[in-house]
């Protein structure tokens, strides 16, 4: 792949740099093997076998798959694609969205009243259910909206976005970065969440930007970059991610590896960003001597099989659904896990 840029001072790779590519290939092999083998073992790597890692391609993870199918399974208008995407991603938990839908019927921006949603979520929380995913730290917007509970403030945030007709402004955006900046202007959405939500909205038909256009490095990715490079030279975190995307084929060839692909689709910037997060976790176990900078010394979640099978489905504009073949079989083997 052609490089995005030319820098005067190049980054210096660390002793564990190659782990990035080896992990990417091994983890992607696990994803493919699970589709045709329900029982495993899917890898001889004990760290990958015993711990929970996201799939190499973000769009193939269970939560992303739920969202993508949500965006396309009904003939939603632009406002409801925006509304349902953000409602789901704020909590980022399939069980929470299903719970709301079960008690409210079809979820729609036209019938969105904060109290109805708030009452249900408050009751669920009081019943000792977790309503937010542990994957993201979702700051409370309490200073802005002043409600007692975090979820009430987030419902108010979503209400503000609807009142501002943010969905109209987003559909008129000229770049993924512009979408990101619009989201970033809202309270409690820092750089990491604003970028993640921009990617989520870009899965839908209301946006159609390349995932190679723009990236923001999150905290976990920065930790992974620190471990894989002794020096960044003149490169920013985002430059490093772009460098990995540009050089993925050459680097895998150098190591005698087959580059990871999703039905021919190469790693995009968002995938390379996420991979740094997962490699950071992997290296906590394999190279604990590198943990001092981040202060994190273990992987919190152990591997467990997914609860139910799913059908793989990707944004039609990517033109890969017709090529899925065996990957799209509806079997218990297709239980993609985070």
Report the pLDDT value the prediction gives residue 334, as an integer from 0 to 100. 41
DSSP secondary-structure letter at 35?
A: H
Alpha-carbon gap, residue 80 to 108, rounded angstroms: 6
pTM exceeding 0.85: yes
Looking at the chain, the number of H-run helices and the number of E-run strands are 14, 2
For 170-218, the DSSP string reads: HHT-SSHHHHHHHHHTSTT--HHHHHHHHHHHHHSTT----TTS-----
Per DSSP, the three-state class of 51 is strand
Q: Which neighbouring-strand residues pair with 231?
A: 12
Q: What is the pLDDT of residue 220?
A: 94
Given this model, what pLDDT does residue 292 score?
63
Contacts for 74-82: CB closer than 8 Å, 24+ residues apart: 78/167, 78/168, 78/171, 78/206, 79/109, 79/162, 79/167, 80/108, 80/109, 80/110, 81/167, 81/201, 81/204, 81/205, 81/206, 82/109, 82/161, 82/166, 82/167, 82/170, 82/201, 82/206
How far apart, in whole angstroms, are the C-alpha atoms of residue 243 and residue 11?
10
pLDDT in tens, the chain (338 residues): 555 556 679 999 999 999 999 999 999 999 988 887 777 678 889 999 999 899 999 999 999 999 999 999 889 999 999 999 999 999 999 999 999 999 999 899 999 999 999 999 999 999 999 999 988 788 888 888 999 999 999 999 999 999 999 999 999 999 999 999 999 999 999 999 999 999 999 999 999 999 999 999 999 999 999 999 999 999 999 999 999 999 999 999 999 999 999 999 999 999 999 999 999 999 999 999 987 665 565 555 555 555 556 689 999 999 999 887 655 554 444 444 43
pLDDT for the residue numbered 17:
98
């Amino acid at each position: 792949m052609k490089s995005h840029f030319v820098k005067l001072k190049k980054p210096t790779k660390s002793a564990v740099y190659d782990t990035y590519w080896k992990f990417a290939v091994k983890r992607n092999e696990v994803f493919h093997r699970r589709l045709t083998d329900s029982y495993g073992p899917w890898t001889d790597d004990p760290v990958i076998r015993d711990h929970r890692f996201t799939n190499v391609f973000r769009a193939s993870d269970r939560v992303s798959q739920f969202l993508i199918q949500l965006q396309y399974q009904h003939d939603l208008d632009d406002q409801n694609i925006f509304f349902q995407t953000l409602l789901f991603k704020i909590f980022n938990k399939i069980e929470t969205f299903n719970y709301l839908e079960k008690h409210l019927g079809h979820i729609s921006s036209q019938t969105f009243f904060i109290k109805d949603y708030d009452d249900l979520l408050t009751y669920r929380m009081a019943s000792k259910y977790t309503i937010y995913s542990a994957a993201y730290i979702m700051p409370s917007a309490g200073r802005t909206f002043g409600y007692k509970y975090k979820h009430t403030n987030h419902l108010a945030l979503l209400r503000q976005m609807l009142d501002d007709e943010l969905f109209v402004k987003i559909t008129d955006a000229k770049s993924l970065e512009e979408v990101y900046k619009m989201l970033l202007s809202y309270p409690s959405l820092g750089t990491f969440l604003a970028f993640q939500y921009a990617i989520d909205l870009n899965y839908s038909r209301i946006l159609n930007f390349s995932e190679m256009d723009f990236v923001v490095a999150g905290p976990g990715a920065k930790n992974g970059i620190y471990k894989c490079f002794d020096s960044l030279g003149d490169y920013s975190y985002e430059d490093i991610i772009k460098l990995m995307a540009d050089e993925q084929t050459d680097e895998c060839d150098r190591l005698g590896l087959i580059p990871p692909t999703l039905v021919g689709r190469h790693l995009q910037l968002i995938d390379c960003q996420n991979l740094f997060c997962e490699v950071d976790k992997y290296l906590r176990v394999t190279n604990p001597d590198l943990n001092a900078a981040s202060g994190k010394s273990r992987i919190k979640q152990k591997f467990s099989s997914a609860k139910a099978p799913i059908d793989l489905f990707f944004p039609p504009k990517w033109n890969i659904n017709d090529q899925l073949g065996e990957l799209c079989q509806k079997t218990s083997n297709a239980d993609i896990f985070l």
